Structure 1
Amino acid sequence: MAISQRLDMRQGTSLVMTPQLQQAIKLLQLSNVELAEFIEAEIERNPLLSRAEGGERDEYAPEEVAAPAKREELSLDDTSGMNEAREAMDASHEDLYESGTNSDSGKTADQMAGPSAKTDWSQAGSGGSFSGDDYDFEGSVSSEKSLHEHLHDQLTMSGLSLADQLIGARLIDETDDAGYCKVDLEEVASALGADPANVEAVLQVCQGFEPTGVMARDVQECLALQLKEQNRFDPAMAALIENLDLVAKHDINGLCEACGVDKEDVRDMISELRALTPRPGSAFSSGTTIAVVPDVFVRELPNGMFAVELNSDTLPKVLMDKAYYAEVSTLPMRANEKEFISECAQNASWLIKSLDQRARTILKVASEIVRQQDAFFAHGVAHLRPLNLKQVADAIQMHESTVSRVTSNKYMGTPRGLFELKYFFSAAIPGTAGGDAHSAEAVRYRIKQLVDDEGQNVLSDDQIVEILTEFGIEIARRTVAKYRESLNIPSSVQRRRRLKASA
């Protein structure tokens, strides 16, 4: 068979990752801190870009939007300016990411990026390229992990339910750099709509995190946690911990009387005490502490409705200098200079449009999350509903990957505290007789409540299944066992043995 060369034409479709598409995707997943750093770098790089001064008026003033009768895509009333960006958002979210899309070179200026709209509904109803490859976001931030990051990582791997992780995240946020959690647990329980005993239980789990002694409420508890890990917290040592004032005074005789041991034992115990760490968080970096600022706010209105609005302080207000561009365009320039100015104008226009769409996308996703989880905001963590990315994506007619990027490193400030958007997503447990599905985290919460309230009548996994069925929750015994183990709850046999041993 002879080998020959020939030319063929084939037709096909493919997605080309243009610099503009890469930039739009990158902007969407950046946190507000990273976005601010990126914008500063672009302003330095592009002579046509500038930050809006505080006195300049933002044409996207907040406006009331009527609540839709059904759970459908939120509609934003039109405002002056940026009509093309608004139409692109409403018509097709993916328009901004189409292959080969170029920014409008004819547009020499744009309005400040970032809307500040809000949505209400009834509580009952529910200069160079923009690729950024040469920009290092971590370059200005210490690579050492902070205490709070270390604790949040352990919380994610703790096996706690979503509801308990929300409580744990709040307690971690209240922990100071020394490692102490001195918050009033009653206040946390009231803010989150949780049982104070459950908050106490979550704190005890968190106190098992590394470093040992972390999240203690005082020095005595911190030292006791470290001694318990070493299996050295006997009654004599407990008495020594309770009399730290005598230790400070070097009152050996008083300590002998309080602990019921001789002087030699007291001196040995004090030596053990001095080997402990009274500030367990001091080993972690605290030089680069970045405060978490919410991207959106949720507040309850007097009429029982919820308002969701973007945090205008975190929205980058960027302008394109029309006057400077018009002035430069009239000057005699070489071909490469003209190309540079034209590219800067296109990039500036595209950046502002991308920032505008990023803000609107965050608002849409956050609004749908609040719509789906309105029971949590009204009644607390026990009322979290099952929610996944697809539900939100279908409701607002976006792709799941877009919703995933939006919920990463974005925070929501609510009357119940500050939460990352991804915390509101959980698996679903079907309801009996075709009833409403239940959040897996809410089911775990119910299992924990049943075990906490069982008293002398220890419940087996089968009995828990029967009780949950009465609540309209269809669940298998092995699923109950899996959830129980994830909550670090012993089996019914082990609980009965403990009950008999304590009797």
Structure 2
Amino acid sequence: MLSVNLQVRQSQSLVMTPQLLQSIRLLQFDRGELQGFLEREAESNPLLRVERPAAAAPVRMAPGGGSDLEARERAAPGPTLQTHALSEIADIFADERERRLAAHLFADLDASGFLATDPLAAAGSLGLAETDALALLERLQAAAEPAGLFARSLAEALGLQLARRGRLDPVMRTVLAHLLLLARRDFAALARLTGERESDLPEILAEIRRLDPRPGSRFEAEEAVAVVPDVLVAGPVDGAWVVELNSRAFPRVAVRETYARRVASGCIEAEERQFLQNCQQSASWLLRSLDQRARTVLRVAEEIVRRQDGFLRLGVPGLRPMTLASVAEAIGLHESTVSRVTAGKYLATPRGTFEMKFFFTVAIGASDGGEAHSAESVKLRIGRMIGAESVDNVLSDDDIAARLRGEGVDLARRTVAKYREALGLPSSVQRRREMKARRLAG
């Protein structure tokens, strides 16, 4: 038998209002995104006035503190790689048709100065035979400066430089075709391929090392963006660090109250008055949200500085393990809020300018039961151990793990290998070959 019942249930749910969503977005905006958002708001709200921050003042660091903003802004930018590539094409090809074809096929270079796309694959769409496109490319590569520009690979870039010097003989061609063996210092295999004596190969290696593997790197990047820190850290003063917001990183927003009162005092229709009231409410909410954003950024920065006192005094060896959750718990915020605040925000410290995310590292356990170590400080130790090696004392990953355990760092061999690779350091076998090659070349 069917029946109809009326029941009352009570439940709680979080309703994300547009204002709350906007407040969350404001937290994760970086300086440029925030400026753009405020300018768009001012376009739709006649009561808002947004002032662009003054040009960022140079952030001077303590001696040895790394590069600063002044160093990034002190010189007028040089030509970009794209500009230089087009200039070389214009100089080399006098024929208008050839110049346009070359610009279309070859002007797109990556940061190293190599062709970013395969020009021969695009030749057909221009009604150009691959052989003709290849002939154009060879003319360009033979004359372009610096040598190696417009290459399709590292091996080709090195070959172009050797050809300019009259040194691209069959032996060199074979070595360039097997760069992986050269990188591994496998001179025995190269000797079999080239017919050269193994003892002569270090000299070839030394010659190749004098070439430029990235001929395009000497040019300015397409867009250089100066980092303006959100928070300034100075001191210590009386043993404590001084943490304050950088006013130049926060756009100034004002409400035209005089304008609002003058309009409201006139004879305006009800619809216009309602629009004006909505604008006032929106402006007031925005000012409160910006103030809350600034205070939240400062609270997070102060907690980071408090926990990373060792880094500020000693550098990377003093970096402590720290998680988003631990900082959030300490200052009474949600972990997701701390994550949004630290994204794209920068601290200027006496040791340099760092993104807030830099200070969050995983903890590496201590073998003696003492205080945990940060991953970055452990990487630094591994790099220093390898940097102090000699040809007769090259450390394996097991050796490094054992030494770290002796220093109170509990780290497995596979984790040592992962950190070593993250530092861009080769294996012990490759390092030993490199050192032997240097000794023979010297």
Could you tell me the TM-score, scaled by structure 2's length? 0.62
Aligned 8 A contact 1:294 1:412 in 2: yes
SS of match in other structure, 1:426: coil
Q: Which residue in the other structure is 1:292 paired with?
A: 227
Q: Which residue in the other structure is 1:40 paired with?
A: 39
Q: In the alignment, residue 19 of structure 2 is paired with which amino acid?
A: Q
Q: Which residue in the other structure is 1:414 paired with?
A: 349
Q: Which residue in the other structure is 2:155 paired with?
A: 230
Distance 2:80 2:400 in 1: 37
Distance 1:20 1:399 in 2: 18
After TM superposition, the structure 1 = structure 2 runs for residues 86-125 of structure 1, keeping only pairs within 5 Å, are none
Q: Which residue in the other structure is 1:20 paired with?
A: 19
SS of match in other structure, 1:368: helix
Deviations 1:382-424 (A, max 9, x none): 3322222112212211111111111111122223332221122
The structural deviation recorded for 1:314 is: 2.5
After TM superposition, the structure 1 = structure 2 runs for residues 232-311 of structure 1, keeping only pairs within 5 Å, are 233=158, 237=162, 240=165, 279-280=216-217, 285-286=222-223, 290-301=225-236, 303=238, 305-311=240-246
Aligned 8 A contact 1:393 1:403 in 2: yes
Distance 2:111 2:28 in 1: 31
Distance 1:343 1:223 in 2: 64
Distance 2:331 2:307 in 1: 12
Distance 2:322 2:269 in 1: 57
Distance 2:216 2:157 in 1: 19
Aligned 8 A contact 2:67 2:352 in 1: no
Cα gap change, 1:210/1:471 in structure 2, threshold over 3 Å: closer, same or farther? farther
Distance 1:16 1:389 in 2: 25
- Residue from 350, 354, 361 that aligns with 2:285: 350
Q: Which residue in the other structure is 2:308 paired with?
A: 373
Structure 2: which 5+ residue stretches go unaligned? 54-64, 82-108, 115-144, 167-212
Q: Which residue in the other structure is 2:101 paired with?
A: none
Distance 1:231 1:382 in 2: 42
Q: Which residue in the other structure is 1:448 paired with?
A: 383
Cα gap change, 1:44/1:497 in structure 2, threshold over 3 Å: closer, same or farther? closer
Could you tell me the TM-score, scaled by structure 1's length? 0.55
Q: Which residue in the other structure is 2:10 paired with?
A: 11
The structural deviation recorded for 1:310 is: 0.8
Q: Which residue in the other structure is 1:64 paired with?
A: none
Distance 1:480 1:433 in 2: 18
After TM superposition, the structure 1 = structure 2 runs for residues 458-469 of structure 1, keeping only pairs within 5 Å, are 458-469=394-405
Larger helix fraction of residues: 2
The structural deviation recorded for 1:301 is: 4.5
Distance 1:43 1:477 in 2: 57
The structural deviation recorded for 1:452 is: 1.5
Distance 2:80 2:310 in 1: 33
Q: Which residue in the other structure is 2:423 paired with?
A: 487
After TM superposition, the structure 1 = structure 2 runs for residues 188-227 of structure 1, keeping only pairs within 5 Å, are 211-212=111-112
The structural deviation recorded for 1:357 is: 0.7
Larger Rg: 2
Q: Which has the higher contact order (CA 8 A, sep 6+)?
A: 1
SS of match in other structure, 2:286: helix
Aligned 8 A contact 2:234 2:350 in 1: yes
Q: Which residue in the other structure is 2:192 paired with?
A: none
Q: Which residue in the other structure is 1:205 paired with?
A: none
Aligned 8 A contact 1:179 1:281 in 2: no
User: Percent identity, aligned pairs only?
Assistant: 47
Cα gap change, 1:301/1:485 in structure 2, threshold over 3 Å: closer, same or farther? closer
Cα gap change, 1:338/1:282 in structure 2, threshold over 3 Å: closer, same or farther? same
SS of match in other structure, 2:234: strand
Distance 2:311 2:12 in 1: 45
